[in-house]
């Protein structure tokens, strides 16, 4: 590899690090994304310049096809479907790493260093797990299959057997660099990924996406070592480390361990998913009544959730908040770490509506303010404000830190129906005497609420 190529690759690796740093803040996120994408384009282009490649037309056709599919997908994907898209991209990356490792394996033999063979076997099995597991998470979030845990008799035995088979085949691949053994290892990895994700349900799925993202990064890093490619090694390590940290942070935000998230359903502890709508009586009101309540409030906190994203009501919500601010009302948005379907979901959704980032407050920073709050407006959130996380040990979300909405003087819920949240359990706060429900599509009800508030 010429020196100039090594320097270019080193520059690309530095750009990836700078891109990750840029993505850590809302003001620099767009630039960071462009820096990372530009470095990736350069890294992919360099081999065409200094290597005498075979099948160039086929590779260019594949790149063109992937670019078109990616561009169309990015333009058409809805904010509510971002987790599914992340799962797809993640799975494709893991599958690609596994395929590249298999192609390299057919050129290896007895003279190949043992560590190279270990890295190759690792890439095949972990990349395959990431591919199939990500496909299942996509199907769950896209509602192509049930979001509830899928269990069957003997599942733990099947998972344990597949894990032992993967380890045994990996050892055999190291001892005998056989392509047939590598393919068999990949197939076992595919099955292992399916068995790993099937028992996961409901709100736990985004955390598993983050974990599988870390798997993909590690498999790409191992593949980079095998290929002697510093860009893949650095990029994969960054993705693996970031995915691992994100998984731990998300699990911590839910007050649970990663092991409980993955295997909790085997003993009845996993977040279960959709449940039945309640028929218990609640206090409800119309937009005019809620508008009067907001008009005389000095302190209002808005809690956005996944329902806001589904209704695409973020722009109307911003207008409502602007009217309140013009009246002298102090208003903030309370953001739970796992509100929506992925970390930062609400931040991105509100940024799309040009909501000033200074109005967004993280859970730990704003929880102490609820006791002095006149009205909390909950728009499409449920589990992240459910007191059962503190009071009901049998609840699947028990132990998860929540927004202390139940400490406010008045609570207004904007809900489409009385169906429970993604955890599949009732929210007792809905039946509290201080709580009022405003039923309907969030965009429609917020529009009526905005008009009524202007008329007050």
DSSP 51: S
Report how far residue 148's alpha carbon sits from residue 437's, in angstroms, rounded to the nearest whole number.
27
Is residue 336 within 8 A of residue 360, CB to CB? The reply is no
Q: For residue 373, what is the enclosing H or E element?
A: none
Torsion of CA 48, 49, 54, 60, to 10 degrees: 30
Report how far residue 82's alpha carbon sits from residue 427's, in angstroms, rounded to the nearest whole number.
26
Tell me which of 204, 369, 383, 406 is the catalytic residue.
383
Does 383 qualify as catalytic in the annotation?
A: yes
Report how far residue 387's alpha carbon sits from residue 410's, in angstroms, rounded to the nearest whole number.
15
Indicate the SS3 state at residue 415: strand
Is residue 400 within 8 A of residue 255, CB to CB? The reply is yes
Report how far residue 439's alpha carbon sits from residue 433's, in angstroms, rounded to the nearest whole number.
17
Percentages helix, strand, coil for the chain, rounded to the nearest 5? Answer: 65, 5, 30
Alpha carbon separation from 436 to 114, 284, 411, 430, 441 (Å, rounded):
66, 5, 6, 8, 16
DSSP 284: B
DSSP 299: E
Report how far residue 230's alpha carbon sits from residue 178's, in angstroms, rounded to the nearest whole number.
26
Strand 435-439 and strand 375-379: pairing?
A: unpaired
By CB atoms closer than 10 A (0-12, 13-18, 19+), residue 110 is exposed
Report how far residue 327's alpha carbon sits from residue 452's, in angstroms, rounded to the nearest whole number.
14
| Catalytic residue numbers, as ranges | 383
């Amino acid at each position: 590899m010429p020196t100039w190529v090594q320097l270019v690759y080193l520059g690309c690796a530095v750009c990836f690090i700078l891109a990750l740093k840029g993505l850590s803040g809302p003001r620099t996120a767009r630039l960071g994304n462009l820096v990372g994408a530009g470095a990736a384009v350069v890294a992919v282009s360099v081999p065409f310049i200094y290597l005498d490649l075979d099948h160039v037309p086929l590779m260019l056709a594949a790149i063109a096809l992937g670019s078109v599919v990616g561009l169309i997908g990015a333009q058409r994907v809805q904010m509510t479907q971002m987790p599914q898209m992340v799962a797809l991209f993640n799975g494709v990356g893991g599958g690609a790493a596994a395929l590249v490792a298999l192609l390299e394996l057919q050129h290896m033999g007895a003279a190949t260093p043992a560590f190279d063979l270990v890295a190759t076997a690792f890439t095949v099995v972990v990349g395959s797990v990431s591919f199939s597991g990500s496909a299942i998470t996509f199907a769950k979030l896209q509602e192509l299959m049930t979001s509830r845990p899928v269990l069957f008799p003997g599942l733990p035995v099947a998972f344990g057997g597949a894990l032992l088979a993967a380890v045994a085949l990996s050892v055999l691949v190291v001892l005998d660099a056989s392509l047939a053994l590598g393919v068999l290892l990949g197939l076992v990895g595919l099955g292992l990924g399916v068995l790993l994700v099937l028992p996961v349900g409901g709100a736990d799925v985004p955390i598993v996406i983050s974990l599988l993202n870390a798997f993909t990064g590690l498999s790409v890093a191992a593949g980079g070592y095998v290929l002697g490619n510093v860009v893949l090694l650095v990029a994969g390590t960054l993705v693996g480390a970031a995915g691992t940290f994100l998984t731990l942070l998300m699990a911590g935000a839910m007050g649970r361990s990663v092991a409980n998230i993955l295997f909790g359903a085997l003993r009845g502890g996993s977040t279960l998913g959709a449940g039945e709508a309640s028929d218990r009586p609640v206090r409800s009101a119309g937009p005019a009544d809620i508008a009067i309540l907001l008009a005389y409030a000095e302190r209002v906190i808005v809690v956005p959730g996944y329902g806001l994203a589904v209704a695409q009501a973020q722009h109307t919500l911003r207008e409502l908040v602007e009217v309140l601010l013009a009246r002298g009302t102090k208003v903030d948005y309370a953001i739970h770490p796992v509100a929506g379907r992925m970390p930062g979901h609400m931040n991105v959704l509100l940024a799309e509506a040009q909501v000033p980032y200074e109005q967004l407050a993280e859970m730990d920073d704003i929880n102490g303010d609820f006791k002095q709050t006149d009205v909390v407006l909950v728009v499409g959130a449920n589990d992240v404000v459910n007191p059962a996380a503190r009071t009901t040990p049998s609840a699947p979300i028990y132990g998860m830190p929540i927004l202390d909405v139940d400490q406010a003087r008045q609570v207004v819920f904007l809900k489409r129906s009385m169906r429970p949240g993604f955890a599949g359990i009732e929210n007792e706060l809905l039946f509290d005497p201080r709580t009022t429900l405003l039923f309907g599509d969030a965009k429609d009800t917020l529009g009526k609420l905005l008009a009524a508030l202007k008329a007050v």
